Amino acid sequence: MFRRRADGTTRSHCRISRPEIMNENLFQKIRLTVPILLCLGLLAIFVRIWWAGATPNKPTWMPESSVWISGPHTPLEMHRVGEWVGCSSTTQKMAECWFTDYRGSVILEGQFARLDGRAIGSISIQHGDMSEFRSVARKHGEVIPIVRLEQGGIMAPLPYVSNLDISGNPRN
């Protein structure tokens, strides 16, 4: 394979041109880079889906008894779905309640009262998902936010208290 020259040096019969070496190096780099990029992409998707399903930090201004209620999730949810719900008693029969997104931006704020007319006392909100914190008025098709209490009972915005029965269902 090697020939000896008259001057004593050897020379190979195999000649590989410079472009062939460069193409081989490029192929090796691509062969290594593509799987790494695919793994990083899959990791990013996994982390994003995990993040979307995790409970976010409660806004600092919300009452201590506030709870995160999860919304409906699709298989590849890429954003947080749900709301923070928090209430603070203002009088014996009324409470100020807030519904916020995961960042703390207020979606709804208002005076709420118990549907059974009883005093509110200390507020402990039941954990659940968004469907358990909504009631639909049949006449207008309007979605009414409600707050389910751990000790039993439901609170609704003052304008809707007379339109809902004690279990949070619309009255006929």
Work out the average pLDDT over 52-78: 80
Rounded to 10 degrees, the C-alpha dihedral 125/130/135/137 comes to: 140
**Which candidate, 118, 94, 98, places its Cα nearest to that of 108?**
98
- Condensed to tens digits (0 to 9), the pLDDT of residues 82-126 reads 899 999 999 999 999 999 998 899 999 999 999 888 998 889 999
Task: Give residue 72's pLDDT.
Answer: 74
> What is the structure's pLDDT at 125?
93
Q: What is the pTM of this model?
A: 0.67
**Alpha carbon 2 to its chain's center:** 68
Three-state secondary-structure class, residue 64 = coil
Q: Say yes or no to pLDDT of 131 above 90.
A: no
Q: Which H helix or E strand runs over 4?
A: strand 2-4
CA distance 29 to 170: 65
The CA distance from 166 to 153, in Å, is 8
pLDDT of residue 25: 75
